[in-house]
Amino acid sequence: MDIQVGVNSYMTLEEANTIIASSYKSASKERTYWSSLSDDDKSILLVNATDKVDRPDFIYRGKTAYGDQEMQWPRNIAGNVVETPFSIKKGLILQMLYDELESTTDEYKLKEMGVKSFADGGGARIEFAGTSESVSNSMKNKVGVNKNIWNSYFKEWSMIV
C-alpha cells in the first residue's frame, strides 16, 4: 500500500517507525510486533488507523485549513494553520497498536464474551455482566478510542469530551 501524507495518512512510514522506536522498549510486545511486519503491512495498518481518527464526528478544534483538502488535518485554529500535531500522530500509533494487540489477549476475548470478573482461588468463579453493563467497551470512549490514549493525545485538539 502506498502512503500519501494528506491523502490517506497523517505521517510517513518513517515517522511511524520513529514514534514507535521512541515510545516502546526494544523488547516490548508493541515494538516486537511492529518489527515483525512487512512495510506493506505497516502501511496498511497506518492507513487504517488514520481512517479511524480522520472522521468528521471527531470534531477537531478549528476548521480544515484548505477547502479542497481530503483529511481533517491541517486545521485552521484561531487564524493559524496547524499541521497534524505530534500528539495526534503519537495517539494514532498508540491506538493502532492497542487495537492490534489488545484485541488478541485472553482478557479482551473474555470481556467480549461478557465476562465481568474471574476468580480462581480453589473454587473458580466467573461473573458475567448484566444486560445494562458494558464490559468490552468500558475502556473506550464514544468514538472508539481507548480513554487513556484519548485523554493524553487527542483531547486537547478535539471538541469532544
Q: Which residues pair with 128 in a beta bridge?
A: 115
Evaluate whether residue 114 is within a structural domain: yes
Evaluate whether residue 6 is within a structural domain: no
Distance separating alpha carbons of residues 20 and 88, to the nearest angstrom: 14
Containing structural domain, residue 142: 13-157
| Count of domains for the chain | 1
Evaluate whether residue 120 is within a structural domain: yes
Single-letter amino acid, residue 72: Q
Evaluate whether residue 97 is within a structural domain: yes
Evaluate whether residue 117 is within a structural domain: yes
Evaluate whether residue 5 is within a structural domain: no
Question: 64-117, pLDDT tens digit by residue?
Answer: 999 899 999 999 999 999 999 999 999 999 999 999 987 666 665 666 566 666
Distance separating alpha carbons of residues 106 and 5, to the nearest angstrom: 35
pLDDT score recorded for residue 128:
62
Residues near 4 by Cβ (< 8 Å), separated by ≥ 6? none
Helix/strand/coil percent split, the chain, to 5:
45, 15, 40
Widest Cα–Cα separation across the chain: 64
Question: 6-51, pLDDT tens digit by residue?
Answer: 999 999 999 999 999 999 999 999 999 999 999 999 999 999 999 9
Question: 123-144, pLDDT tens digit by residue?
Answer: 666 666 655 554 444 577 777 8
Evaluate whether residue 69 is within a structural domain: yes
Evaluate whether residue 1 is within a structural domain: no
